Amino acid sequence: TDYYEPEMGGPLLRRIYSFQELVAPDNLAAAKHTTDRLERELARTLPDAPQRPVNLDPGYVCLSKMVLATTKDHAHRVYVGAGIYAESTLRWRHGAFEPWEWTYPDYRTDHYRAFFAEVRALYQQKLRRLEGT
């Protein structure tokens, strides 16, 4: 969507990264504070940058859902501490990720949902290997 264009300029480029090392969900608040700090630093140091040159949203995938961190409270978000809320953005149901009524438009797309399904499959493989050790 073009929601962020006034603040970030356009056209928007999107990248989603998944890290190989497993991280506990209780690190979500600290991760959000780190990404917020990085956003501010990039806005301050990048020459000719728009007001907000990058939007970093940490989250995690587990077998039942994909969760994003946010600083904004809403009825469907759960406070996890240190001013951070967690939102279940996608749920795993009938062998695929499904959006909720509040899921952001980008995360509703087949492309995003397929990406997170791949991440989930890799996560599941890692869990099986860990259980076997």
The DSSP element (H or E) to which 88 belongs, if any, is strand 84-93
pLDDT of 6 reads 77
pLDDT of residue 1: 63
C-alpha span between 36 and 123 (Å, rounded):
26
pLDDT reported for residue 49? 82
User: What pLDDT is attached to residue 102?
Assistant: 98
CA distances from 92 to 16, 51, 78, 84, 100 (A): 19, 36, 19, 23, 11
pLDDT of residue 40: 94
Residue type (1 letter), 61:
V
pLDDT in single tens digits along all 133 residues of the chain: 677 777 778 788 889 999 999 999 999 999 999 999 999 999 999 888 888 889 999 999 999 999 999 999 999 999 999 999 999 999 999 999 999 999 999 999 999 999 999 999 999 999 999 998 7
Nearby residues of 120 by Cβ (< 8 Å), 6 or more positions away: 61, 62, 63, 66, 92, 97
